[in-house]
Amino acid sequence: MGKSVTPAGFSIGGWCGTNPGGDPFGDAVRNIGMDAFLEVLGTTAIKRVSFHDRDLWPDDAAPALVTEVIGHTKERCSATGVEIYNFTSNNFSNPCFRSGAFSSPFPQVRAAAIVKGCNAVDHANEFGAKHVIWWGGREGSDGAYEQDAGLGLARYMLGLKICVRYGLEKGYKLIHTVEPKVYEPRLLALYAGTGASAASAIRHYFNEPAFAGRVLVNPEYPQHVMMLNLDPVFELGQLLEEGMLAPFIHFGGQIAGRMDCDLPPGFGSNVYTDFMIVLTLNRRGWRGVVEFDCRPPRTTTSCQGLTGFLNGAVGYWRMLEDKVAAYFADAQIADLEGALTADEDSTVGSLLAASSVAKGVGQLRANFKGFAAAADVNTDVIEAYQRRVMSIITGTAK
Ligand code: GLO
Ligand code: MG
């Protein structure tokens, strides 16, 4: 496991920069177009950008218009020094997707989602993007459970698989990522269990060798997990351990227990948890990209404000990286970690490798000193660890 910090590269959704800042109760508060956003982006440390098809052209745009916009967008990105990183099909905003997209109960809608998805795969390739994100915004139900939930999942995975196969057949080098979200805009989203259930579905439906490493999970931390008071650090650990984490994550700010806030990174969040996300990634030697998927608050309306938001997002992640570097360099942490990562008892360590587990367990039983002896272990180290981590985060470590 690595003990150094690799500074992350950054990306951001184009849709974040052009978000007009309205809400269901209030009008748009700003009007920053894509070109203006790219201009601002070029002045920051965020050197990658991602798009939905719909961020750039209407869903029913004529092919000539699409070609023109692709040319223009590529030109603007190269002029401002920004790489096109991800491309994605918006399979949720069009009114035809009000009952879902790949998983809609209606075959005409499922077909529309597949056509749009395959178009996006072509465009991702044309843009030279690295990944196609699949966020099933409207997959799920608003409470009627109008179709069998397992069937809904199977339909979702079938649509996705057709799009992935389509790209493979065309020889594109794209990686596909599923972005889970526990709820909203649907009240009962298809992946009720976040990244873990998405990973499980991918393993089940994409188990042929041709798909190995081609379909991964891109989580959005902390928003999509903490919006239902779940925990991103454990999910992240599982995705890394199982090799299911995409080469990038989405990141932003979230008040726990609220609907998707997409606040500036750090705002509303639990800094201890955010720190643990960065620590976990660096401990594992992850070399991915942090893609901001959040937006300026409604009260920020100018390009100057947007610049502050973008620099603030980078600054927050860099601050966390600095804290993780301080953690790696801290002698007290090294001692505490030592106490928390003691080697496996040699009998336990070899139990599964032995020809007979029963024989090994028998030996373990024979050597067992009783539960009171196990309770004697000094667990105070856990609080000491937490206190030391907090002092590093708050800059009060002595
Ligand atoms: C919404 C999602 C959304 C996706 C985007 C990429 O909550 O985070 O922004 O990330 O559509 O597919
Ligand atoms: Mg996202």
Structure confidence by residue, pLDDT tens digits, 189-208: 987 668 999 999 999 999 99
What confidence score (pLDDT) does residue 192 get? 67
Residue-wise pLDDT tens digits, 68-77? 999 999 999 9
* pLDDT band per the 50, 70, 90 thresholds, residue 58: very high
Average pLDDT over residues 377-390: 97
> Residue 285: is its pLDDT beyond 70?
yes
Residue-wise pLDDT tens digits, 139-152? 999 999 999 999 99
Residue-wise pLDDT tens digits, 110-145? 999 999 999 999 999 999 999 999 999 999 999 999
For ligand 1, is residue 179 a contact (CB within 6 Å)? yes
Atom in ligand 1 nearest the alpha carbon of residue 15: 9
For ligand 1, is residue 291 a contact (CB within 6 Å)? no
What confidence score (pLDDT) does residue 219 get? 97
Average pLDDT over residues 258-262: 96
* pLDDT band per the 50, 70, 90 thresholds, residue 274: very high
What confidence score (pLDDT) does residue 328 get? 98
Please report, for residues 33, 266, 310, the alpha-carbon distance to residue 121 in angstroms, rounded to integers and kept in the order given: 24, 33, 28
Angle between helix axes 303-329 and 271-283 (nearest 10 degrees) is 60
What number of CA atoms fall less than 13 Å from residue 352's CA on the CB side?
Answer: 2
- Residue nearest ligand 1's atom 2 by CA: 135
Sign (positive or negative) of CA dihedral 278, 280, 283, 284: negative
Phi-psi region of 143 (alpha: psi -120 to 50; beta: other; left: phi over 0): left
Using only C-alpha atoms, the chain has a radius of gyration, in whole angstroms, of 23
Q: Could you give the CA distance from residue 247 to residue 150 in angstroms, rounded to a whole number?
A: 28
Q: Which residue has the tokens 């009240």?
A: 187
> Residue 349: is its pLDDT beyond 90?
no
CB atoms within 10 A of CB 35: 13
- Strand 48-52 and strand 131-134: the pairing is unpaired
Ligand nearest to the CA of 137: 1
> Residue 363: is its pLDDT beyond 60?
yes
Output the pTM of the full model.
0.97
Average pLDDT over residues 369-381: 95
Ligand 1 midpoint to CA 135 (Å): 6
For ligand 1, is residue 53 a contact (CB within 6 Å)? no
Q: Kindly state the tokens that stand for 138.
A: 């409207």
What confidence score (pLDDT) does residue 342 get? 87
Atom in ligand 1 nearest the alpha carbon of residue 260: 7
Q: Kindly state the tokens that stand for 32.
A: 């920053």
Q: At 77, which amino acid appears?
A: C
90, 178, 224, 250: residue to mutate for ligand 1 pocket, most atoms within 8 A of CB: 250
For ligand 1, is residue 135 a contact (CB within 6 Å)? yes
Q: Which residues have CB under 8 Å from 382's CB, separation 6+? A: 340
Q: Which residues have CB under 8 Å from 262's CB, separation 6+? A: 16, 223, 252, 253, 254, 293, 294, 295
* Nearest alpha carbon to residue 284 among 337, 332, 243: 243
Q: Which residue has the tokens 């079938």?
A: 158
Atom in ligand 1 nearest the alpha carbon of residue 184: 7
What confidence score (pLDDT) does residue 2 get? 53
* pLDDT band per the 50, 70, 90 thresholds, residue 232: very high
Higher pLDDT pick, 360 / 344: 360
Q: Could you give the CA distance from residue 164 to residue 168 in angstroms, rounded to a whole number?
A: 6
Atom in ligand 1 nearest the alpha carbon of residue 220: 8
What confidence score (pLDDT) does residue 138 get? 96
Residue-wise pLDDT tens digits, 5-54? 999 999 999 999 999 999 999 999 999 999 999 999 999 999 999 999 99
Q: What's the N-to-C CA distance of the chain in angstroms?
A: 26
For ligand 1, is residue 55 a contact (CB within 6 Å)? no
Q: Which residues have CB under 8 Å from 335's CB, separation 6+? A: none
* pLDDT band per the 50, 70, 90 thresholds, residue 166: very high
Q: Could you give the CA distance from residue 209 to residue 213 in angstroms, rounded to a whole number?
A: 9
Ligand 1 midpoint to CA 60 (Å): 21
Q: At 238, which amino acid appears?
A: Q
CB atoms within 10 A of CB 131: 22
Phi, psi of 38 (to 5 degrees): -60, -35
* Nearest alpha carbon to residue 248 among 123, 362, 131, 379: 131
Task: Report the mean per-residue pLDDT for the chain.
Answer: 96
Ligand nearest to the CA of 250: 2
Is residue 295 within 8 Å of 283, Cβ to Cβ? no
Q: Kindly state the tokens that stand for 331.
A: 């002698």
135, 194, 224: residue to mutate for ligand 1 pocket, most atoms within 8 A of CB: 135
For ligand 1, is residue 220 a contact (CB within 6 Å)? yes
Is residue 11 within 8 Å of 85, Cβ to Cβ? yes
Q: Give CA angle at 201 (135, 254), nearest 5°.
A: 40
Ligand 2 midpoint to CA 366 (Å): 53
What confidence score (pLDDT) does residue 47 get? 98
Ligand 2 midpoint to CA 383 (Å): 34
Q: Give CA angle at 318 (381, 336), nearest 5°.
A: 10
For ligand 1, is residue 216 a contact (CB within 6 Å)? no
